[in-house]
Structure 1
Amino acid sequence: MQADCADCFGLCCVALPFSRSTDFAADKAAGQPCSNLRSDFRCGIHAQLRDKGYPGCTVFDCFGAGQKVSQVTFGGTDWRRAPETARPMFEVFPVMRQLHELLWYITEALDLAPARPVHKKLRQALTRVDGLTRGSAESITGLDVNALRGEVNVLLLKAGELVREQVPGRKKNHRGADLMGAKLPEADLRGASLRGALLVAADLRGADLRDADLIGADLRDADLSGADLTGALFLTQAQLNAARGDAATRLPPSLSRPVHW
C-alpha cells in the first residue's frame, strides 16, 4: 500500500486533473499527461516540484493504487503502447486509489490492540476490499465506493473510539470542526477526535496529539513544530507532507519526516 512509481505508468500525472493555483503551476485536464511527465513515466522535475510550483504533487499519495492498476488490472500493458487502454485505465485509477486508502486504514486498525472487539469484522472488510481491487476494470469502475466507504467507516470509527477510551481524562471532540487558522499552541488534544476537521494553517506548535483520531483531517500548512503525534490514529504520509514541522515533531514510527520540514 505504498506507492511504487517504478511499476506505475505515471497514472497520477495523467488521470487526475489540476488547476493553476498555489498547488500547481498550470492547468491540466483529466486524461491529459502533465508536461513534466517523461517517456519513462517518471517526473522530470521530481526533485524540484516545490521550487517549480507543484507542491500539490508532493502531498499526493496513491497508497499503491498506481502499480495495482498498471501491473494487475491491466497486466503491465501501458496506455502509450496500447492507446485503447488509456480511458478505462484512467477511469479505474481514482476508484482504485480510494480502495487502497481503505486498505491502509483497515490495516492500521488491525494493528490497534484496544480495537480487538472489531478485529473480526475488520479482517472481513480487509478480505472484501482486497478482493475488489483484484477485479476487472469494469467491475471496479462500477463500484459504489461511497457506500463501501460508509460501511468501512463505521468499523474505523469504532476502532478509533476503543483506542481513545484508553486515554485518561476527558477527550475533546472537534470532529468536522472548522479550525482553519486556529491558535492551538501547546494544546492538549490527546485522544481527541479531529476526524474531518479543517486545520488549514492552524498553529499546533507543541500540541499533544497522541492517540488523536486524524482520519480525513485537513492539515495543509498546519504548523506541527514540536508537536507530539505519537500513536496518532489514521494519520497518513500525505497529511504530514501537506503540513509544516521540524526536527522536534514526534511522529508515529510508520511515517517519515517530510524532507521539506
Structure 2
Amino acid sequence: MAKIIGIANQKGGVGKTTTAVNLAAALGVLEKRILIIDADPQANATSGLGVEDVQYSTYNLLEHSADTRVCIKRTATPNLDIIPSHIDLVAAEIELVDKEDREYMLKKALASVRDDYDYIIIDCAPSLGLITVNALTAADSVIIPIQCEYFALEGLGKLLNTVKNVQKIHNKDLGIEGLLLTMYDSRLRLSNQVVEEVNLHFPEMVFETIISRNVRLSEAPSFGESILNYDAESKGAVQYIQLAEEVLLKNENLVKN
C-alpha cells in the first residue's frame, strides 16, 4: 500500500512544486511506482511534467465526479503517473463547503488506487484552505520545504499548528516526514545562518539533504520535464536522488522497527 506524502507550505516560492515533481521523479528513477497529485489550481506540477489536454483533474477527484483511475495520466518519467490539476480546482474550495465529510473527499478517492503505487506525492496549494486540509487528511506525512532566505521560518508555525489541528480532528496518524532546506547558496552568509537556525530549532525534523540553487533545476519546468529528464547529471538531479534515497531509507527503517 502506498505511503502518501504531502508537500506543503502556505508561503509561496519555497520550492514546493519543484520538490513534489523532482522527488516523485527521483523515486520513479529508483524504480518505485509513483503517483503525483497536483492539488494546486496553478497546475505548475502538471505543466512541469509536460502534461497537456487535461480532461479529468484533481477537481473531479474531490467532487467524486469521475473514477480515480480515469483521472490518472502517464508522464514521460519512468514509473511516474499524475493526476493533473486545472484552474477549475479553484471552484472546489467553494463547492466542498456544504458537503458532508468535505475534509475526507481526497482520502476516499485515493483508497481505490493505493495498492497500485509505492508512494503518492501530493503537491499542495500555497494556502491552508479546504483543498490543503483534504491533502493533509489523506496524507501519512508531510514534507515542508523551507527556503534559505529572509523570513525562512515565516509561516512555519502556522503550518505546524494546522498539522496539529488536522491530527486532532481528521488524521491522528499524520506525521512530519521532514523539513527540507531549499534554494541554498553556500556563498551567502544568510543561507548558512538559516541552515544553522532550522537545525537548532528542529534538529530531529530536518533532512540531511539540502537543495541548492541550481540554474538547470529552475530551467527544467519550462521544458515540461523533471530535472531527472532534463539534466540527470546536474547538481539538482543528484540532490533530489539523495533526498529520495533518504526518504526510502527512513521508511524502510520504520517498517523494520
Asked if TM exceeds 0.5, the reply is: no
The structure carrying a bigger strand percent of its residues is 2
Q: Work out which of the two has the higher radius of gyration on C-alpha atoms and give 1 or 2.
A: 1
**Higher helix fraction: Structure 1 or Structure 2?**
2
TM-score normalised according to structure 1 size: 0.28
